[in-house]
């Protein structure tokens, strides 16, 4: 055994033991976990977050080791179906439609199963897998996301398993891209490059993106590339790339006004025009007279029909019910309030700060998204991943705490009717709010 390898084992033996234990736990998570077993799920997550913390603490300057570990953890999930989400069935369904020349925004799966089922490969299995809620609604995934779904079904050879591997490979490549450009951006902003590992080996990121095939990672890849280009003053190219991020998930739309003071009004107008033209170009292949109406109906559902893992909304709802308000009526009224409050929040963070460099833009994005999630009716676990990435460009770490605490919301997955446990949600949000207030006080004391 070469002496250098012996020294490596000796120097990094604790970290390698932690990595091996993490590997075993991720393998157990991927292949031997039923989502109804909440105690096992929670125990695995707690252990994995502890190992993640210690790995970063011991090896934060060892880029190659943490990169390799992060990639290996992701490859564990490559050949297994997601066990916490069934959304991938809808991804593949939409991909089959697009690759067959059918507009996914014009027909619900329920409609297609009655009229065009023979055109869609594996239609019955995909339809049953996605569930009745998804089946009765039009697709809500933006156009570039649809094109990636189509690419995955083409690469997968019309096989569900093949398409699943293709989708997962794309997400893994996106995460590798995030660590590459994220480190460069951190350096450009005079921050420590190792902070990117709070994203890259974060268990929530690995499980929810690679494991459960959520496309926040692909959105974040385009987002971080756009921010990196802005740090190089390549703002025109950044506009095109940011439009691609929006065309994966619409969340970055929230941040567009924040660039106004950073770029100045002349550049801002051109920047917004570039984003608008690119977005329109991506939507054009799907544009029909019915498209806008169907797509907007689906988006409205998120504000006025769905609720999961909410904080302020849960308190407001319980208070309203105490005064004899009907829950189904209250959520619709609350859904009208949420966009207005969000717009007002974005306006405050756009015009109030006096200094507006890229650090300040990313800081403002973090707070805008945080406030939006705090007032939202629906906060799925993978939503917190965007906050984790934004937070590493600031001195705040409450988003990392949230990425650990949010696993308590998985309790609902263990229930046949997806009923939430408000005590567990209380622990989650007390942890998040408590650490947030602690950080705010600590930052104020440093001034």
Look at residue 288 and tell me whether its pLDDT is greater than 70.
yes
Residue 277 DSSP SS3: helix
DSSP 97-116: HHHTT--TTS--HHHHHHH-
Question: Other C-beta atoms within 10 Å of 260: how many?
Answer: 17
State the pLDDT confidence band at 3, using cuts at 50, 70 and 90: low
Rounded Cα–Cα distance for residues 178 and 180 (Å): 5
Q: What's the pLDDT at 435?
A: 97
Among 35, 388, 369, 424, which Cα is nearest to 212's? 35
What local confidence, expressed as pLDDT, does residue 2 receive?
54
The reported pLDDT for the residue numbered 356 is: 80
* pLDDT for position 368: 96
Q: Is the pLDDT of residue 159 over 60?
A: yes
| C-alpha–C-alpha distance, residues 381 and 191, integer Å | 27
| pLDDT digit string, tens, across residues 42-84 | 999 999 999 999 999 999 999 999 999 999 999 999 999 999 9
**Per-residue pLDDT at 237 exceeds 90:** yes
- Of residues 148 and 10, the one with the higher pLDDT is 148
The pair of structure tokens assigned to 426 is 């209380």
Counts of helices then strands in the chain (DSSP H, E): 23, 0
Q: What are phi and psi of 202, to 5 degrees?
A: -70, 125
- Over the stretch 131-155, which tens digit does the pLDDT of each residue have? 988 898 889 899 999 999 999 999 9
Between CA 368 and CA 349 the distance in angstroms is: 7
Half-sphere exposure for 430 (CA within 13 Å, toward CB): 7
- pLDDT of 321 reads 81
The per-residue pLDDT for 63 is: 94
Tell me, what's the pLDDT at 303? 61
The answer to whether 114 and 190 have CB atoms below 8 angstroms apart is no
Separation CA 295–CA 277 (nearest Å): 19
pLDDT of residue 399 exceeding 90, the answer is yes
Q: Binning pLDDT at 50, 70 and 90, where does residue 367 land?
A: very high
Distance, in Å, from the CA atom of 396 to the CA atom of 15, rounded to the nearest integer, reads: 26
The pLDDT > 90 percentage for the chain reads 74
d(CA 113, CA 123): 8
Tokens for 178?
């995030």
β-pair partners for 378: 308
DSSP state of 206: I
Q: Answer for the pair 55, 66: CB distance below 8 angstroms, yes or no.
A: yes
Mean pLDDT of the 305-318 span: 88
Residue 1 has pLDDT above 60, yes or no: no
The neighbour count for residue 254, using CB atoms within 10 Å, is 17
Distances (CA, A) of 217 to 34, 87, 103, 248: 24, 15, 25, 10
Between CA 287 and CA 177 the distance in angstroms is: 31
């Amino acid at each position: 055994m070469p002496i250098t390898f012996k020294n490596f084992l000796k120097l990094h033996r604790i970290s390698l033991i932690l990595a091996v234990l993490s590997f075993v736990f991720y393998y157990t998570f991927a292949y031997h976990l039923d989502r109804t077993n909440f105690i096992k799920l929670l125990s695995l997550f707690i252990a994995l977050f502890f190992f993640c913390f210690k790995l970063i603490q011991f090896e934060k300057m060892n880029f190659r080791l943490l990169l390799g570990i992060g990639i290996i953890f992701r490859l564990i999930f490559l050949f297994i179906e997601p066990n916490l989400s069934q959304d991938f069935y809808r991804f593949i369904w939409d991909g089959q439609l697009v690759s067959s020349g059918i507009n996914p925004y014009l027909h619900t799966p329920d409609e297609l199963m009655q009229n065009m089922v023979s055109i869609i490969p594996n239609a019955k299995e995909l339809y049953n897998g996605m569930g009745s809620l998804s089946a009765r609604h039009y697709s809500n995934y933006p156009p570039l996301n649809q094109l990636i779904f189509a690419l995955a079904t083409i690469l997968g050879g019309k096989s569900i398993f093949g398409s699943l591997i293709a989708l997962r490979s794309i997400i893994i490549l996106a995460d590798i891209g995030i660590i590459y450009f994220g480190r460069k951006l951190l350096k450009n902003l005079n921050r420590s490059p190792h902070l990117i590992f709070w994203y890259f080996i974060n268990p929530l990121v690995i499980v929810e993106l690679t494991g459960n095939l959520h496309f926040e990672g692909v959105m974040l890849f385009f987002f971080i590339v756009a921010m990196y280009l802005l740090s190089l003053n390549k703002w025109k190219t950044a506009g095109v790339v940011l439009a691609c991020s929006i065309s994966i998930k619409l969340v970055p739309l929230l941040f567009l006004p924040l660039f106004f003071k950073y770029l100045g009004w002349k550049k801002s107008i051109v920047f917004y025009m570039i984003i608008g033209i690119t977005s329109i170009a991506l939507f054009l292949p799907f544009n029909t007279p019915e498209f806008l109406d169907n797509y907007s109906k689906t988006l409205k559902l998120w504000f006025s029909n769905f609720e999961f893992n909410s904080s302020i909304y849960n308190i407001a709802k319980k208070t309203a019910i105490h005064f004899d308000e009907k829950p189904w009526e209250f959520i619709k009224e609350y859904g009208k309030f949420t966009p207005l409050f969000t717009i007002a929040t974005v306006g405050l963070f756009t015009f109030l700060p006096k200094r507006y460099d890229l650090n300040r833009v990313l800081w403002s994005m973090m707070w805008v998204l945080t406030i939006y999630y705090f007032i939202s009716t629906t906060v799925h676990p993978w939503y917190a991943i965007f906050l984790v990435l934004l937070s590493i460009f600031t001195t705040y770490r409450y988003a990392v705490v949230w990425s650990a605490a949010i696993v308590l919301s998985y309790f609902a997955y263990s229930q046949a009717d997806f009923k939430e446990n408000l005590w567990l949600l209380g622990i989650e949000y007390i942890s998040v709010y408590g650490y947030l207030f602690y950080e705010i006080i600590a930052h104020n004391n440093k001034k």
